[in-house]
Amino acid sequence: MAFADNLQQLPSIDHLAELRLMDAQGQVAAVIPNQPGKAGSLRLYAALAAKHGSLNAAAAQEGLELFAEHTESARQHPGSHPNIDRLFEIIATGQGYTVELVAA
């Protein structure tokens, strides 16, 4: 399935303003706002966190599958898809993130 098809299977994020990724020290490592161009990543990350309890290696692997065609593009062009690059990093290092959802 394509990324757009996969997104349709995930819960709505209309109630969210943003998602924050917290590192092991409790510091904000990244913020994904609910805005055009970022909403797909927010929706996917929120669903992964709900299913896995955090953004860990298992969640990252599933995320790469759900990002579908964009995953190969990210592999070929590092830096062009930072939210996919982050999933590669989680798998490579084993260092995940806790997720904080911020209501709209």
Q: What is the dihedral of CA 69, 47, 101, 82, to 10 degrees?
A: -20
Question: Residue 45's domain spans which residues?
Answer: 3-103
For the chain, how far is it from start to end, CA to CA, in angstroms?
30
CA dist., res. 15 & res. 36, Å (int): 15
Q: What are phi and psi of 4, to 5 degrees?
A: -60, -40
- pLDDT cut 70: percent of the chain above it: 100
The tens digit of pLDDT for each residue in 12-43 reads 999 999 999 999 999 999 999 999 999 999 99
Model confidence at 53: pLDDT above 90: yes
How many structural domains compose the chain?
1
> What pLDDT does 78 receive?
95
Quote the mean pLDDT of the chain: 97
pTM of the model: 0.95
